Chains A and B, each alone.
Chain A
Amino acid sequence: MAVNDMDTQTGLNAGKDAAKGLAVSARNISKRFGDKTVLHDLDLVIDPGEFLAIVGRSGCGKSTLLRLVGGLDDITSGSLTIDGRPAGGINQDTRIMFQEHRLLPWRSVLQNVGLGMTGDWEQGARDALEQVGLSDKADDWPSMLSGGQRQRVALARALVHQPRLLLLDEPLGALDALTRIEMQRLIESLWLRNQFSVVLITHDVDEAIAMADRVVLIDNGRIGLNQPIPLSRPRQRSSAQFGELTELVLNKVLAK
């Protein structure tokens, strides 16, 4: 039931479905820290409602790119627009899920989900917890939850603000294989339902292909591959096409 509520609520300020997700457009952006250039003249466009995965080796600049889009850092040169407006600082329509859960240990699960909300926040927070299947943990401390449950709370915390752009910075990296697949399905279903745009940073090619509409490889601060994933959903990891695409991307990642 909470799902319908959320749909009508986003529908109010969105008008039509395609407008729910934010568009991101990066033209010629570079990022330097001191004299070290992390991103070189990079071009990238994300369509409204698109699920984009960014893969690459550690240190290739993928997390830096996410931080730029999220407004945590500023670009050194080039132009970056979000929803047609120049990006600058933190955007209230954008939410980030970090690699660590970053829950406040001194607030209950429910209070964590409602963080930063004003007015009558509690019902919204409860609905979001229900969406990630953790209604019964509302009054627990985060320390009482398992790793997977903590990331689900972090996901609820991101969703409660009804973001139009969700940035995922390897949020599943530390989870065990089964919990990971469960979380992938959960994120995919919530994305299908809410139609926000997603940028997923991951080092797991399999995860990228299971979830994304398009996979972008970043290699030494440049785009090394821009590969649409035309597989229908729900995706079968065992299909031949899935295997071919994984192989293709993986070879590109590993190529010197």
Chain B
Amino acid sequence: MKGAKFYEHAIPLVLPVAIILTWQLASQSGLLPSRILPSPSAVVGAAWELALSGELWTNLLASFKRAIIGFVIGGSIGFFLGLLTGSSRYCDMFLDSTIQMIRNIPHLALIPLVIIWFGIGEEGKLFLVALGVMFPIYINTHHGIRSVDRGLIEMGRVYGLGRWGLFREVMLPSAMSSILVGVRFALGFMWLTLIVAETIAADSGIGKMAMDAREFMQTDIVVVAILLYALLGKVADVLARFMERKWLRWSN
């Protein structure tokens, strides 16, 4: 039985390990010039050096901070607007079509304007991240609140729940699975927006690190930056899954 378990864990790893080994061999034999792609060991070495010099942590922290602050701002606005239009017909009539129109503008197309407005400082990037995060959370919150079972709301009223009680006991938990779907989409948009924004204009962050390395043809640092984004994306995903497990415990 233990043997079978081991194989189950090992089989998915076979291909990635083989790819990395081939890559390493190709680099070492000179088949793959390091100008195109550095060897895996060179990437690890670069990451190690960046970590030792502290450059890695400063830039990682700068990117992470931007991502979180932008997410919180955009997420809160989207959540709040979604609650508003989801629970009130009048707010829905008044706001929804406008929000849908703005949603159709690809937010990355605003980058030239954003640079004119904010320069290459923090505000511009926070603005873009917030904008990118807002819509998936808005749409899914709106949808979640809209699809709350009318029967449960009626029951809640009969059993003495007030407006706040109905929101806390019935509407929010009912909408939660939909809201969390929005959160996962939003996390994807968050990293994407940040990568683009930092690559085009930034004075710190992982994107800045990659662009500086490009000037000196340091492909190993560029690859480190790419892998860092992947890692951050994974961390965000794990976080989202943790929230799902915590708040949707009842559904399995």
Give A residues with C-beta under 8 Å from B. 70, 72, 90, 92, 94-96, 98, 100, 102, 104-107, 115-117, 141, 143, 157, 161
Contact = CB atoms under 8 A, between A and B. Distances in A.
Q: Point out which of B158, B159, B174 has the most chain A C-beta atoms below 10 A from its C-beta.
A: B158
Contact of B156 (A105, A106, A115): A115
B20 interface: no
Nearest to B251: A105
A100 B157 CA distance: 16
Contact of B158 (A70, A105, A141, A143): A70
B151 A102 contact: yes
B150 to A, nearest CB: 10
Nearest to B166: A116
B156 to A, nearest CB: 7
A67 to B, nearest CB: 9
Contacts, number: 49
A117 B161 CA distance: 9
Interface in B204-252: 250-251
Interface string B158-176: 1111000100011001101
Contacts of A104: 152, 169-170, 173
Size band of the interface chain B makes with A: 10 to 19
Given A104-B170, A106-B173, A115-B159, 6 more contacts: A94-B158, A96-B158, A106-B176, A106-B250, A107-B169, A116-B160
A138 B60 CA distance: 47
Contacts of A107: 169, 173, 250
Contacts of B203: none
Q: Point out which of B155, B161, B250, B251 has the most chain A C-beta atoms below 10 A from its C-beta.
A: B155
B36 to A, nearest CB: 53
A116 B165 contact: yes
Contacts of B251: 105-106, 143
A161 B159 contact: yes
B173 A95 contact: no
B160 A92 contact: yes
Contact of A161 (B154, B160, B176, B250): B160
Q: Point out which of B161, B174, B250 has the most chain A C-beta atoms below 10 A from its C-beta.
A: B250
27 contacts: A70-B158, A72-B154, A72-B158, A90-B157, A95-B158, A95-B159, A98-B155, A102-B151, A102-B152, A102-B155, A104-B169, A105-B251, A106-B174, A106-B176, A106-B251, A107-B173, A107-B250, A115-B161, A115-B169, A116-B156, A116-B159, A116-B160, A116-B161, A116-B165, A117-B160, A143-B251, A161-B159
Contacts of A117: 160
B151 A157 contact: no
Contacts of A106: 173-174, 176, 250-251
A141 B250 contact: yes
Contacts of A102: 151-152, 155
Contacts of B161: 115-116
Contacts of B250: 105-107, 141, 143
B251 to A, nearest CB: 7
A198 to B, nearest CB: 16
Interface string B29-69: 00000000000000000000000000000000000000000
Nearest to B161: A116
A143 B248 CA distance: 13
A92 B158 CA distance: 8
B165 to A, nearest CB: 7
Nearest to A89: B157
Nearest to B170: A104
Contacts of A92: 160
Contacts of B157: 72, 90
A225 to B, nearest CB: 29
Q: Point out which of A115, A117, A143 has the most chain B C-beta atoms below 10 A from its C-beta.
A: A115
Nearest to B247: A106
A228 to B, nearest CB: 29
A117 B176 CA distance: 23
A58 to B, nearest CB: 18
A193 B219 CA distance: 82
Nearest to A99: B151
B72 to A, nearest CB: 25
A95 B176 CA distance: 28
